[in-house]
Structure 1
Amino acid sequence: MKLKEFILLGHSLGGFLAASYSIEHPDRVRHLILADPWGFPEKPAEHKDVPLWIKGISYVLKPFNPLAGIRVAGPFGPWFINFVRPDISKKYQMALEDPNLIPEYIYQCNSQQPSGESAFHAMMSDFGWAKVPIVKRIDRLDAKMPVTLLYGARSWVDHSAGDIIKEKRTSSYFKLQVISGAGHHIYADKPEAFNQIVLDACNYTDSTKSNTPMITGPDEQERDEPESDRNS
C-alpha cells in the first residue's frame, strides 16, 4: 500500500503485534489503538492450590496448537465450533441471514496448515500469557505516540496491564477505556461504542499532526455508551 504513516489498530493477538511493530517502527505509527490486546501483562506466580489434575491436563495439552481440535474434527469442524462457542454466531445473527456462515468461515480459516497459529503458540507461555509481555517493553515505545487502549468488561483478557501502562505514560496522550457489557470481541458486542472510540482517536490524530503529547483527565469509569469515556 506504500503508506508512510498510519493509525494502527490491533485486536487480541493483533494488539500484541501492533504494539511490537510500533516499538520497532515509531516513525510510521501516528496513533496506536489496542482493542482487548493479548500478551500485555506478565504471567502471575503459579498458585500452589491448583489441583494436580488440572496441572496434568495443562501439561498434556501444552504441545498442541490452540485450535488443533478444529482440524481433528475434520468435516464436522463447523458443528464443533458452533457446539463449543455458540455465542460467536449469536454476535452476528442480526447481520447475517445464515447462522452457519460464521462457524464455516472460522473452520475454513483454521482447517489448513496452521502457520500463524503455530507462530502464536511459539510466543505463548501457557494459554493467555506471552513469553515476552508488552509491559516489559512498553518503556521503549515512543513517548510522543498517542495510545488508545480499550477492554471489554466481560472479556477473559487480563486488564491489569492498562493501569501499569497508564503509570508509565504520564507525559503523553493515553486513553484507557473499559466497555461495559462487552466481551473479548468488543467491535461485535458494542459496535457503536467501539466505532466512536476509534473515530475519536482518528479525529485527535488528524488534529495534531505533530503528535503533541496530551494527557486526558484523571477520572476513570466503565464505559457503556459512546459519551461516557473512561479516560486516564
Structure 2
Amino acid sequence: MILVGHSLGGYLAANYALRYPEHVQHLVLVCPAGVPKAPEDWERRWLGDKWSVRGQMFKVFMWGWEKGFTPGGLIRALGPWGQNLVYKYVANRFSHHGEGLSQREIDAFKEYFYSIAALPGSGEYALRHLLAPGAWAHAPLEERLHELRVPVTFIYGKHDWMRPEYAVRLCERLRAERSPSAPNDLSVEIIEDAGHFVFLDQPELFDKALTNVVRPYLTSDRERRQAAAYVAAGTDVHVAAEAMVAAQGSGQVAATATALQQAPTATSWGFAASGVTEHMPVTPDDAGGGTNPSPTSGPGKGKKG
C-alpha cells in the first residue's frame, strides 16, 4: 500500500513503515511531526526570561504537559468558553492561506474540531509519551529513518509550522547512505501559499503532488499517462464562493480572474551529491517512465521556512 500520514499521523505512519516495511510500497509524510531532534537549547529559547510572564506561562505549560493535561482536556474544562476558543481558532486559522474557505466550510470545521475536542479523551493521553513540549519527538525520525528502505516523500505547505528544512536535511543524509529506490523517493514537495493543513489551503496542488507519487504504481500505461497529464495541467486556485460573489458585486471580476490565473505552485526538491537541485514540473512526456524530470543547474534552494 501507499501509506499517507499528516502531522502526528505522519509520525505514526513512519513508525508503522519502520516496523512493517513489507506492507508499504511508498511512504508519504504530509507536514509530519517528529522529524528533527530537539535543539539542546530549545527550552531556553521558549522560556526566555524565566521571571517574565511568558516564562511563567511556559513553566505552567511544561508542568501541565508532564502531568498529562491536554488541549482537549482544557477545552472540555472551559465548557462554553472552550467552544468559543475552538471557533475563534478555526475562523482565524483557515483564513490565512490560499483564498480561504467559504463560511459554510468554516462553520463545518468549527463543529468538526469542537466535536472531536469535546468527546472524552482517549488517544490524546499518549501525546506526552510521543512528543515533548514544542512537538519535539522523544524518538525523532531523523535518527531512525535511515533504517527504512521504503521510498519516502515529504509534502509541506510553505508556511507550515512544521519546518520543511528538517526534511530537506534528512533526505540529504539519506541520499548519502543510499540511492533513491523509486520515483519521488527522498523528495520534498513545498506547496506555495499553504500552511499546516496544506490539503485544505491548496487542495488541487496537494492532489497533484500526491498523484505524482502514486502514478508510477498505477497498473496500466493509460492510467499513468492520464495521471501525468493531470499533474501537468493548469491548476485552479482554491477560492471561497463569497470571494467571487463579492468581486462580482464590486465590479472586480476581471481582477479576480487575473488573480485566479496566478496559481500558487508546488516546488519539488531532489538531492544530488552537490546539494539540493530544483526539479522542473512534470510533463505528459514523462507518463510512461514514472521518473522525476531533469534537474536544473540551480544551487540548493530547498531550505524554505
Per the normalisation by structure 2, the TM-score is: 0.63
What is the distance in 1 between the residues matched to 2:155 and 2:208?
12
Q: How far is 1:39 from its partner?
A: 0.8
Please say if residues 41 and 160 of structure 1, whose CA atoms lie closer than 8 Å, have aligned partners that are also in contact. Answer: no
Name which of 121, 125, 132 aligns with 2:139.
132
Query: Aligned residue for 1:121?
Result: 128
For residues 72 and 117 of structure 1, do their structure 2 counterparts lie closer, same or farther at Cα, with a shift above 3 Å needed?
same
Query: Aligned residue for 2:199?
Result: 187
What is the distance in 2 between the residues matched to 1:204 and 1:157?
28
Question: Following superposition of structure 1 onto structure 2, how do residues 20-169 of structure 1 map, counting pairs within 5 Å?
Answer: 20-46=15-41, 48=44, 50-52=48-50, 53=52, 54-62=54-62, 63=64, 64-88=69-93, 90=95, 93-94=101-102, 97=104, 99-142=106-149, 145-169=150-174
Report the number of matched residues.
Answer: 215
Q: Indicate the SS of the match to 2:159.
A: coil
Please say if residues 87 and 110 of structure 2, whose CA atoms lie closer than 8 Å, have aligned partners that are also in contact. Answer: yes
Q: Which has the higher contact order (CA 8 A, sep 6+)?
A: 1
Query: Aligned residue for 2:231?
Result: none
Q: Which runs of 5+ in 2 are unaligned?
A: 221-268, 284-292, 296-301
Please say if residues 188 and 270 of structure 2, whose CA atoms lie closer than 8 Å, have aligned partners that are also in contact. Answer: no
Q: How far is 1:147 from its partner?
A: 1.1
For residues 14 and 222 of structure 1, do their structure 2 counterparts lie closer, same or farther at Cα, with a shift above 3 Å needed?
farther
Q: How far is 1:221 from its partner?
A: 4.8
1:37-77, CA deviations, whole angstroms, 9 ceiling, x for partnerless residues?
A: 01110111216562213333222112221333311222343
What is the distance in 1 between the residues matched to 2:127 and 2:156?
21
Query: Aligned residue for 1:3?
Result: none
Q: How far is 1:216 from its partner?
A: 5.3
Q: How far is 1:97 from its partner?
A: 2.8
Q: Which runs of 5+ in 1 are unaligned?
A: 1-5, 209-214
> RMSD in angstroms over aligned alpha carbons?
2.9
What is the distance in 2 between the residues matched to 1:31 and 1:182?
24
Per the normalisation by structure 1, the TM-score is: 0.80
For residues 153 and 56 of structure 1, do their structure 2 counterparts lie closer, same or farther at Cα, with a shift above 3 Å needed?
same
1:153-206, CA deviations, whole angstroms, 9 ceiling, x for partnerless residues?
A: 111112232122212332122221111111000001111110001111111233
For residues 11 and 98 of structure 1, do their structure 2 counterparts lie closer, same or farther at Cα, with a shift above 3 Å needed?
closer
For residues 28 and 182 of structure 1, do their structure 2 counterparts lie closer, same or farther at Cα, with a shift above 3 Å needed?
same
Q: Percent identity at matched positions?
A: 27
Please say if residues 192 and 226 of structure 1, whose CA atoms lie closer than 8 Å, have aligned partners that are also in contact. Answer: no
Looking at CA atoms only, which structure, 1 or 2, has the larger radius of gyration?
Answer: 2
**Amino acid of the structure 1 residue aligned with 2:55:** K
Q: Indicate the SS of the match to 2:170.
A: helix
33-42 vs 173-182, which deviates more?
173-182
